[in-house]
């Protein structure tokens, strides 16, 4: 199986509740390696750009406001099939639908405030990593 990289965000609801370490431990226990990480405060313009794919959705404004409400922790994760593996560890978007033991089932507050973001495909992973990190910051 191929070693792959994916992009992850510990979202504001989780940083606010001081859950960054617990979430990192769940990622690591799930077989992923954090090869880059930083805590940042997004601007509204950056949040709007990052989620521009959802610009026409009714929840877009709420989502962008949420993403700037507290600091976030952006990460690059590496592992075998990291994109899919991370989605499994995260659980379904809505915590009510997420499986037991997943990050969202364990920690998310709601469909919107769902604790973690993970890339959904190789193209978006590459784009999202490049948006937040310089190549020199990825230390595998
Ligand atoms: P995922 O983060 O699981 O890839 P999506 O890409 O569909 O899910 O949505 C991006 C984010 O937008 C979700 O993680 C969630 O925070 C928010 N979101 C999605 N759907 C809704 C909704 N119906 N109401 C409020 N927020 C939503």
pLDDT, tens digit, 9 for 90 and up, residues 36-59: 999 999 999 999 999 999 999 999
Residue partners of 82: CB distance under 8 A and separation at least 6: 3, 4, 5, 6, 32
Cα–Cα distance measured from residue 68 to residue 87, given in angstroms and rounded to the nearest whole number: 23
Q: Point out the annotated binding site for ATP.
A: 11, 59, 87, 93, 104, 114
Confidence of residue 2 (pLDDT cuts 50, 70, 90): confident
The 10s digit of each residue's pLDDT in 59-90 is: 999 999 999 999 999 999 999 999 999 999 99
pLDDT on residue 1: 66
Helix residue spans in 7-134 (DSSP H): 12-16, 20-29, 44-50, 60-67, 82-90, 103-107, 122-132
Overall pTM surpassing 0.85 (yes/no): yes
Establish whether 54 is a catalytic residue: no
Ligand 1 is surrounded, with C-beta below 6 A, by 59, 62-63, 93, 111-112, 114, 117, 120
Compute the half-sphere exposure of residue 96: CA atoms within 13 Å on the CB side of its CA: 3
Rg, the chain, Cα only = 14
């Amino acid at each position: 199986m191929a070693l792959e990289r994916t992009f992850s965000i510990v979202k504001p609801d989780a940083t606010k509740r001081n859950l960054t370490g617990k979430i990192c431990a769940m990622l690591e226990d799930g077989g992923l390696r954090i090869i880059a990480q930083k805590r940042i405060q997004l601007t509204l313009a950056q949040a709007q750009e990052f989620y521009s794919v959802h610009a026409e959705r009714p929840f877009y404004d709420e989502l962008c406001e949420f993403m700037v409400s507290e600091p976030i922790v952006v990460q690059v994760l590496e592992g075998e099939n990291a994109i899919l593996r991370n989605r499994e560890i995260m659980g379904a978007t809505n915590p009510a639908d997420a499986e037991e033991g997943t990050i969202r089932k364990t920690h998310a507050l709601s469909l919107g405030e769902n604790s973690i973001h993970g890339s959904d495909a190789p193209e978006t992973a590459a784009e999202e990593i490049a948006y937040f990190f310089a190549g020199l910051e990825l230390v595998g």
